[in-house]
Amino acid sequence: MHRCSFTCLENGSDSAPTLCDILWCGFREWDSSSIVWDALANSYARAQMNHDALYVLSKMNSLNMQISITTYDSLLYSLRKADVALAIFKEMESCGIPPSDYSHGILIDGLCKQGKIGEALSFLQETRKEGKFKPLGMTFNTLMSALCNWGFIQDAKSVFCLMLKYGLNPSRHTYSTIIHGLCKVGSVNEAFDIFQSVTEEGMELDIVTCNSLINGFRLHGHTREIPKMIEMMRGLGVEPDVVTYTILITGHCEGGDVEEGMRIRKDILGQGIELNIVTYSVLINALFKKGLFYEVENLFGEICSIGLELDVIAYSILIHGFCKLGEIGRALQVWNLMCCSQRVIPTSVNHVSILLGLCKKGFLDEARSYLETVASKYQPSDVVLYNVVIDGYAKVGDIGNAVQLYDAIIMAGMCPTIVTCNSLLYGYCKFGDLHMAESYFMAIQLSDLLPTTVTYTTLMDALSEAGKVHSMLSIFKEMTGKGIRPNAITYSVVIKGLCKQLMFHDAKNVLDDMYREGFDADPIPYNTLIQGFCETQDAKNAFYVYELMVCRGVMPSPVTYNLLVNVLCLKGLVIHAEMKLESFRKQGAELRKFAYTTLIKAQCAKGMPYKAIMWVGKLLDAGFEASIEDFSAAINRLCKRQFTREALMLISIMLSVGVYPDIQLYRVLGTAVQKKNESFYLPILQALAIKTGI
């Protein structure tokens, strides 16, 4: 057998015909020649030279030689991931060779690895029905693992019951598989019950199983249970590893508590456990989401200082995070580091992040230069990268450079997408060339590309801004007639266009049509109509639309409340504005600082100083930070109405929250004091000015 294996490897692939000729010529008179043929086939199968093994088997069949079950099993194992495996098994049975203890397991393992779970189950049922199935714990474990990975936990539990029915004792691997499957589908409590029951019976489950259960707690929002689970592990003599702690840190970071994640990191390092790049990536990603730039830099420095190699995910998090924070220079440094590593190749996602960051900063020349570098070295045919820069040029109305890049796409043999065309259309609209925009819109319709909601909405918005409401409505009708579904922005564009022409009745009809069509409840179209009424100071109809949206189950946004408070203040209905804002507060509405400051300024202008001071307190109690501009706006208005004493009260509040008056504000107060002949306030102002460094 060993000599056959050596001969197979020595002669290499496609050597079977030659060796078969030698056997036929040299051993055909020997009574045991079939054993040599079988050994040759087995050796080819074990060496995974499947074509040669099949050739030898076909020769043996033609010579009526007996093929051993060992050879069939070797070939089954070698071909278990291929479609031909089932055919070989059936051929074996048709030759009257009974399967070995391992034959069924090999075939089921192969079907599972091919993702053919249904076929594996059918095969199991068929062989059981025929009474041919030879149960092994390994076979059941394989099948249960595949079912759990696909989320078919009930089927996995049925296989588990069948395993018990055959009298097989579940192993540690069996329970680990079931626990993993239960955690995956969210049945964490059931998984924990099994874990507890099994460990109480004395079975030692490994760290992988414990981590699987801990990860289940994390995935389904039970982060508080993880420390208890870790203590239980330690009681069983299983020490947490870096994976355990990474799961715990991930749970805290996902819940927004990155500070706790960083504290755990410190504790782990104190225990002498080295963190891996996955742990660092989780922490860095969470820090970026909080905008904690310096903490990211410190952690990145720590990674570099210990010589930990970054993977593509870590690089991507850093590049995307720096770009999102506007630190495009830092992102480029990381990108250069990535390129120099010669281990990780930048991906299209990395390039998109950098291009988006450059365009957002207005560095369009740099973005184009970067694009040309990437196109020549890394991604020569990625139209998505061109789309980003074209969109950047379009947003600033630089249609010339946008068209140049469009031509570059064509010259490179790439096909522009509808995203490319939508950006160019927006560019023409932004540039103010409405005639060209309409012509280009027609060109898109005549091309092979299908216009999208964005295509129609972009042109409709330009027509609306130009006052061409009838043309806008015509395009809208064409869009819906073609079955292209409008979105909230589309409806807002239509409503805004109608409101600009004071066609409020038509605008309300569009809003009603949107509701009847069952579109998603989005506050944007409602806010647009409310704003239209506010601009004409029609507070009654503005509140009518607000009541309508609440009645229809549409959640008002902070913009809604801003508009309503503002229109009441503009109408001089300050008391009504105060009552409404208080009502919104009691309802738990999501308010912005603008609503408060609008009311405060109106109260100051209307000569209601104490009301204004009271609402400044409410603004601060709501957790908003009042700026020097906010206080100055109120104090200026109070001084104009000669409420100098009350204005000075606001100065006290300013100082109490750490906001200091500037020289301009002292001048306003000094002028007001002198104008009202209240010179006794001047020494107080001078003392304050000196104290605050003016």
What is the share, in percent, of the chain residues with pLDDT greater than 70? 95
Region 417-445: mean pLDDT is 94
pLDDT tens-digit map of 439-450: 999 999 999 899
- 108-122, 151-165, 326-340 — which is least confidently predicted? 108-122
- 44-48, 301-305, 687-691 — which is least confidently predicted? 687-691
pLDDT for the residue 151: 86
Identify the residue whose tokens are 């057998």: 1
Both tokens of 220, joined, read 């389904």
pLDDT for the residue 456: 97
Kindly list the distances between the CA atom of residue 111 and the CA atoms of 56, 108, 134, 136, in Å, as whole numbers in the listed order: 25, 5, 17, 16
What is the C-alpha separation between 411 and 414, in angstroms, rounded?
8
Nearest to 599 by CA among 618, 627, 576, 574: 574
What is the C-alpha separation between 186 and 677, in angstroms, rounded?
75
What is the share, in percent, of the chain residues with pLDDT greater than 90? 46
For residues 321 and 354, is the Cβ–Cβ distance under 8 A?
no
pLDDT for the residue 2: 44
Confidence of residue 12 (pLDDT cuts 50, 70, 90): low
- Would you say residue 3 has pLDDT above 50? no
Taking CB atoms within 8 Å and a gap of at least 24, the contacts of 459-462 are: 459/425, 459/429, 460/490, 460/493, 460/494, 460/497, 461/429, 461/493, 462/429, 462/434, 462/437
- Would you say residue 654 has pLDDT above 80? yes
pLDDT tens-digit map of 350-361: 999 999 999 999
**The residue type at 422:** N
- Would you say residue 5 has pLDDT above 70? no
| 3-class secondary structure, 31 | coil
pLDDT for the residue 1: 44
HSE, side-chain direction, 13 A CA sphere, residue 345: 6
DSSP labels for 419-449? HHHHHHHHHHHHHT-HHHHHHHHHHHHHSSS
- Would you say residue 508 has pLDDT above 50? yes
Region 331-338: mean pLDDT is 92
How large is the angle between the packed helices 504-516 and 539-551, nearest 10 degrees?
0
Average pLDDT, the chain: 87
Confidence of residue 542 (pLDDT cuts 50, 70, 90): very high
Confidence of residue 6 (pLDDT cuts 50, 70, 90): very low
- 76-80, 163-167, 655-659, 684-688 — which is least confidently predicted? 684-688
Range ranked top by mean pLDDT from 62-71, 518-527, 553-562: 553-562
Confidence of residue 403 (pLDDT cuts 50, 70, 90): very high
What is the C-alpha separation between 431 and 541, in angstroms, rounded?
35
- Would you say residue 455 has pLDDT above 90? yes
pLDDT for the residue 573: 94
- Would you say residue 380 has pLDDT above 70? no
What's the length of the chain? 694
pLDDT for the residue 10: 53
pLDDT for the residue 11: 53
pLDDT for the residue 692: 66
- 25-29, 165-169, 313-317 — which is least confidently predicted? 25-29
Range ranked top by mean pLDDT from 80-84, 594-598, 669-673, 682-686: 594-598
- Would you say residue 385 has pLDDT above 90? yes
Kindly list the distances between the CA atom of residue 271 and the CA atoms of 265, 267, 283, 284, in Å, as whole numbers in the listed order: 10, 6, 19, 21
pLDDT for the residue 8: 52
What is the C-alpha separation between 258 and 251, in angstroms, rounded?
9
pLDDT tens-digit map of 119-148: 888 888 888 888 878 888 888 888 998 888
pLDDT tens-digit map of 241-250: 899 999 999 9
pLDDT tens-digit map of 38-71: 888 888 888 888 788 888 888 888 888 888 888 8
